[in-house]
Amino acid sequence: MSDRTACEYKIDNDFIKCSHCKNTYFFKGSAMLNTAGMTFLGLDWANRTAITLMCENCGLIHWFGKAPIPVTT
Ligand SMILES: [Zn+2]
């Protein structure tokens, strides 16, 4: 499901920061958007996989409709 090691990610050339604790290291995962719940919310047009990044520090899960770029140093 998700990678074992946390990594920094970028979207549109900007580092992704946790919206809760400002941490920049995340565990990557994915989730299907095509669920009954998402259809109810009007997102069934997506019908694809969303990328999830779980904050390494506080565990908050961020959802992305396009793939974040891993930052390798
Ligand atoms: Zn966090």
17 within some domain: yes
Whether the pTM exceeds 0.85: the reply is: no
- Please give the distance, rounded to the nearest whole angstrom, from the Cα atom of residue 56 to the centre of ligand 1: 7
More confident residue, 58 or 50: 58
- Please give the distance, rounded to the nearest whole angstrom, from the Cα atom of residue 53 to the centre of ligand 1: 10
- Please give the distance, rounded to the nearest whole angstrom, from the Cα atom of residue 15 to the centre of ligand 1: 14
32 within some domain: yes
Domain hosting residue 38, numbered range: 8-71
Q: How many domains does the chain have?
A: 1
Q: pLDDT digits over 21-52, tens only?
A: 999 999 999 887 665 655 555 655 555 678 99
Q: Cα 18–19–22 angle (5° rounding)?
A: 50
2 within some domain: no
46 within some domain: yes
- Report pLDDT for 1: 44
The answer to whether residues 58 and 18 touch, using CB atoms and an 8 Å cutoff, is: yes
